[in-house]
Amino acid sequence: MEGGAVFGPSRSVVMDVVILLGAPGSGKGTVAGRLVETVKGFSTVSSGALLRAAIKDKTAAGIEAEGYMSRGELVPDTLIAAMIDDYLAVHSAGEGILALDGFPRTVPQARMLDGILKKHGVKLRRAILLDVSERVLLFRLGGRRICPKCSAGYHISTIPPKKEGICDVCGTALAIRADDTPETIANRLKVYQEQTAPLVDWYTAAGVLLRTHADGASDEIAGEIAAAI
């Protein structure tokens, strides 16, 4: 693991935020899940999961977002920033670390996040890049399954459910995400390189970037991150 600026011992007297950066399939959600299980006071919110819930609930934001998501494009910056702002309005009180999985994804979103964090009195502790080779990204995305009810994530060979095709948590039949088709995957990887990868330089310049080589097992990666934050 390579670090940027070095911070002192953790200071969980207020809510701190860490950003999880990485291409689709880099394991942001899986690693965040491991951190929630192993680090006291750790929680996470996924921008993609917020959007999928909004689509399911047919909210105005969900109806607007659906077309972008099905094409593998990013939804408008202001739409997703408003959802994160609303989330923090409810969840920023108290102590601990909140991992933002999938937000920000563009430089304008990073600027918006600065304002949102200030508004809610939340500090940015780290931006963590999960650096994964393209071969592993394609393998992970190709075998990914999701629970449509509780959003638990699986992989057919590396994170299989106990009973094939059924969610361990809530017993619902697992599904392939609507945007995990080969064409949409290719577009999402392109969009990542063009619009999200510039955030690596952005957060390096801010002195908060932590780069993790994340081709390996999620437990090990989560352990490295837990030790570093």
Which residue of the set 105, 126, 140, 145 is catalytic?
105
User: How many Å apart are CA 173 and CA 166, to the nearest integer?
Assistant: 5
Q: Contact between 103 and ligand AMP (CB under 6 A)?
A: yes
203 binds ligand AMP per the rule CB under 6 A: no
Q: Which of 24, 62, 153, 161 binds ligand AMP (CB under 6 A)?
A: 24
Identify which range of 10-18, 74-82, 149-157, 202-210 contacts ligand AMP by CB under 6 A: 74-82
Select from 35, 144, 188, 203 the one that contacts ligand AMP (CB under 6 A).
Answer: 188
140 catalytic per annotation: no
Work out whether 51 is an interface residue with ligand AMP (CB under 6 A).
Answer: yes
State the number of binding residues for ligand AMP (CB under 6 A).
Answer: 19
- Candidates 10, 26, 33; CA nearest to 97 is 10
Q: What are phi and psi of 209, to 5 degrees?
A: -80, 140
In the complex, the smallest distance separating the C-beta of residue 22 from ligand AMP, rounded to whole angstroms, is 9
CB of 65 to ligand AMP, least distance (A): 7
Residue 28 annotated to the active site: yes
What region, left, alpha or beta, does residue 175 occupy, with left being phi > 0 and alpha being psi -120 to 50 degrees?
Answer: beta
Q: Does 68 bind ligand AMP (CB under 6 A)?
A: yes
- Judge whether 105 counts as a catalytic residue: yes
DSSP 8-class letter at 175: B
Strand order through the sheet with 123-131: 42-46, 96-101, 15-21, 123-131, 209-213
Q: First-to-last CA distance in the chain?
A: 12
Residue 93 has which token pair? 């009180």
β-partners of residue 101 are 20, 46
Catalytic positions, please?
28, 105, 144, 177, 188
Residues that bind ligand AMP (CB under 6 A): 24, 46-48, 51, 68-69, 72-75, 80, 102-105, 109, 179, 188
